[in-house]
Each structure stands twice: as structure tokens, then as C-alpha cells.
Structure 1
Amino acid sequence: MPDLDPALDLADQLYGLLQEVPGGVSEYRLLQTLREGRCSHLPSLPLSDRLVLFRSHFLLFNALYRLRDRLWHDASGHLQIDPMCICLLPYTEGEYALAEQDPLRDYYLDLNQLRETGDADVARLLSSFWTRMQGGDEKRSALELFEMEEDVPVTAARIKQRYRQLVGLHHPDRGGSTERLKSINLAMEILQRYYR
């Protein structure tokens, strides 16, 4: 394992580490390597604390996006950033120049996100993540209310179309029920969390 120079910026430290693993490395392994090397840029508290984990992850990804920008600007390489495989790639002229705006890059380069995110925010982020990953009863109930056919893929466009149909059918001005309309609106709010 390389010795980490505390005077080096985290992006420079990452560049050195990533050059040693041409096949790439996972975010977890990269964090472990930095912590074992006593990286002064990351919190040294246990990663079992969710706020420490969030801050470590954020600082790592901030440095990765800064490194990727620098490599592209210098035409010296490209950095693939994926939690499962962070990998240095050779620079290919024009291949990455027309990339679309990257909301993740914008998020991680905004240090206000780091400063303003507290323990309760991290808890909400984790809860939201697991809800999206696992689905849940509320999602199933909302899909049932919308009578979405299982053999056709559920998309945001189909949900919006079905929402308009249901509102048209059940609006109180057209003889429908106010309670039914409230249920439809609630189901739409739920489904918008899962399908964007």
C-alpha cells in the first residue's frame, strides 16, 4: 500500500492510487485504502456512524469529480466514476467532450451540500434510498389504485396519462367523489417518488 503524502490534495492522492490499479477499484476498497493510509482529508471516525460515512463518501466523490475534470481539461485521461468500479481510462479526443450536464457532478462539487447535510438529512436519504430499492406497500397500493396493467412496463409517461384519465372520471364536477380524487392525488404523489 502506498504512503499517502498529507500535503497532497485528495484528488492527487486518488490519482496516484488509481494508477496502481489499472482494472479499477470499488468505492469501498478505495475508502479503506485511504483510511489505512491515514488520509488526513477524510474523517478518521468509524464508518458505522452514518454521518461519518456520508461525509467520507461525499469528500471522496468531490475529489473524484475534480480529478475527472482536471484529466479532461489536460487531455491526459478519463475517470470512470461508479461506486462499484472507479477506473482511470486513456484519453480519447472528443469522446467525452460533448457530455450532457451531470447532476451528480454538480451535487458533489457543491460543498454546501456537505456543510448543510446533517444526521437527520442522511437518515432521510438512506430511508428514501431503501424505499426506492425495495418498493413498498404504498407503491403497490398506488399502482393498484391506478389499475396499471402488469404486462406493460410502468413509466412516468403512462402514470401521468392514467392520472389524467382517473381525474377526468372521478372529479367532483363530473359527479365523482372528493374522497376518491384525494386518493388519486395521493397515489400520484407516491408514484412520482418512484417514477421520474
Structure 2
Amino acid sequence: MEPETAITELQAAVEPILHAHPQGITEMALMDRLAEAGHPLFTQGERGQPAALYRAHFLLFHALYRLRAALAEAGLGLEIHCLCIRLRRLPGQASTGGELIDGDPLAAFYLDPTNLEGMDNAAVERLIADGLCRTLGAGDRDADLAELGLSPGARPSEIRRRYRRLAMRHHPDRGGDTATLQRINDAYQRLMAR
């Protein structure tokens, strides 16, 4: 099968799964759903080695970023993070999708197929040891700001202030939800690490 056809089929397989999980789905759960649907790239045997898992991860994120650009034309957004992949409504009018890639280093990375070339087990293990996988999984700034209910131009002092309010409101000891607090904590940590 041609690579372009395989990616198009992967996008087509992913979209209904995302619609079925409006609260979001993790990368591994999405891979499991694709494996259950019989997609050969995502079977457990194919994910057993670091290079195979990296290939599955890379191709999935490649398809997700392409899907995000296509969905933007219909006024839908796609949050892409290994811990939560979910559809969302874009504020305002539909977009062409181009601005969703411009200035997004993760999109640029995953949309460049040369970043998949030469990735054997040793190369993947070097990436992990160098911390690049953690860096690439950092998510995009706008999505993290949106998680905190902030606009893209928010300053660090605003981020800290908003984080403290949300952390207090959503803390389980105060009747909040653990999953919500974890998403808030993760977004805050990524924002402050940049």
C-alpha cells in the first residue's frame, strides 16, 4: 500500500473513534482501538519493540496533525497530546488550517516524514535518553493556555495566578475532580517549562 493511501486510511479510521470519545482519549487507548479494528500498524506485536512503537506513534501523530488541518476547515479543532486527544469547537469562524501548523513545532516535526527515517531501536533509545520524546510530547502552548482558560498572549504572572485559582477550585480535597486537576497541573508545568 502506498504511504499516502495508508495515512489517508489511518485518518479515516481515527476520526470516528475521536467522535465516540468527546471527553478525549489517550494515545495508547487510541492505538488499542485501532488494533481492535484490525489496523496492522497498531497490533500488540507491532508495538513490542521501541522502533516499532516509535513508528506507530509517529504515523499516528502524522495522521492526527493532517486530520487537525482538515477539521479546521469545518470549524473543528483537534487537541493533540499523548494523554488527551480530543475534538473541540474552534472559536469564531472556520479556519483554513494553515495557521494551525505555522509556528507549531510539534506539527512541523510530525508532518515531516524524514523524522521517521533511520529510527531503529538504538536511535529510539537515544531519543528517550536525550529527553527528546518528553520535549516532543510537551503539547502546544495554545492548548495548554486554553486548558487554563487563558488567551494566547497570557503572561507568566497571569498563568501562575490562574493556575492557583483553578488548582484550589478543582482540588479533590475541596470536592474537585482528580482528572481535571491533573490536566491543569500538566498544562501549567508545560507552560512554565517553556
TM-score normalised by L of structure 1: 0.57
Matching of residues 139-154 of structure 1 within 5 Å: none
Q: Secondary structure at the match of 1:12?
A: helix
Instruction: Please tell me the root mean square deviation across aligned C-alpha atoms, in Å.
Output: 3.1
Distance in 1, matches of 2:131 and 2:70, equals: 31
Structure 1 residue 11 and structure 2 residue 11: aligned? yes
Deviates more, 1:96-105 or 1:7-16: 96-105
Relative to structure 1, the CA distance from residue 38 to residue 107 in structure 2 (aligned partners, 3 Å threshold; closer, same or farther) is same
Tell me the CA shift for residue 62 of structure 1. Answer: 0.4
Equivalent position to 1:101, from 97, 100, 103 = 103
Corresponding position of 2:127: 125
Per the alignment, in what secondary structure is the counterpart of residue 47 of structure 2? coil
Shift of 1:92: 2.1
What is the CA-CA distance between 1:35 and the residue it aligns to? 1.1
Match of 2:63 in 1: 63
Structure 1 distance, partners of 2:122, 2:7, is: 33
Preserved CA contact (<8 Å) 2:74 2:94: no
Structure whose CA Rg is larger: 1
Equivalent-residue separation in structure 1 for 2:30 and 2:128 (angstroms): 21
Secondary structure class of the residue paired with 1:24: coil
More helix by share: 2
TM-score of the aligned structures, taking structure 2 as reference length: 0.57
| CA distances 1:58-89 after superposition (whole Å, capped 9, x unpaired) | 011001000001111x2331000011110011
1:161 equivalent in structure 2? none
- Please give the secondary structure, in 2, of the residue aligned with 1:115: coil
Is the Cα contact below 8 Å between 1:43 and 1:52 reproduced in 2? no
- Counterpart CA distance in 1 for 2:8 and 2:114 is 23
Structure 2: gaps spanning 5 or more residues: 1-5, 136-192
Deviates more, 1:6-15 or 1:116-125: 6-15
Distance verdict in 2 for CA 1:58–1:8, change over 3 Å: closer
CA contact (8 A) 1:42 1:59 kept: no
Q: How far apart, CA to CA, are the structure 2 residues paired with 1:113 and 1:43? A: 22
Contact 2:50–2:121 (Cα < 8 Å) also in 1: yes
Aligned length: 129
